Amino acid sequence: METQVAEHTPGPWEYIPNGTEPTRIFIRHDVRGGEYVAEISVDGDLSNAFANARLIAQSPMMYTYIERQAHRGDAEAQRIMEAVDAATNNTKAGTS
């Protein structure tokens, strides 16, 4: 029996501050105004919150790169993909 594989929201993602002094930063899909995929609450260090938002916004690109390297046989990339799959339940029964 196969389990259903969930897919992440495809990129590009961008981060958007909520006003001039944000208390929240939104990460959204599609720079033309797509759905929000994440939100960061700002409590304290604004520069740290923006750094986190930029990192999260780059996730689809990083995922694609690691996935490509894994398919090319890179053992470390394969281990990372296995960890990502385990963390997101993106596994199919009987396959690895």
- Predicted confidence (pLDDT) at residue 3 exceeds the cutoff of 70: no
| 1 within some domain | no
| 96 within some domain | no
| 75/77 Cα distance (integer angstroms) | 5
Instruction: Clarify whether residues 41 and 69 are in a common domain.
Output: no
pLDDT tens for 51-83 read 988 999 999 999 999 999 999 999 999 999 999
Instruction: Clarify whether residues 45 and 84 are in a common domain.
Output: no
Q: Which of 47, 12, 7 is nearest to 28 (CA)?
A: 12
Q: How far is CA 5 from CA 54, 89, 90, in A?
A: 27, 7, 5
pLDDT at 70: 96
Number of domains observed in the structure of the chain = 2
Instruction: Clarify whether residues 47 and 68 are in a common domain.
Output: no
Instruction: Clarify whether residues 80 and 67 are in a common domain.
Output: yes
Instruction: Clarify whether residues 83 and 68 are in a common domain.
Output: yes
| 2 within some domain | no
| 77/29 Cα distance (integer angstroms) | 25
Its domain, for residue 51, covers 7-57
Q: For 71, phi and psi rounded to 5 degrees?
A: -65, -25
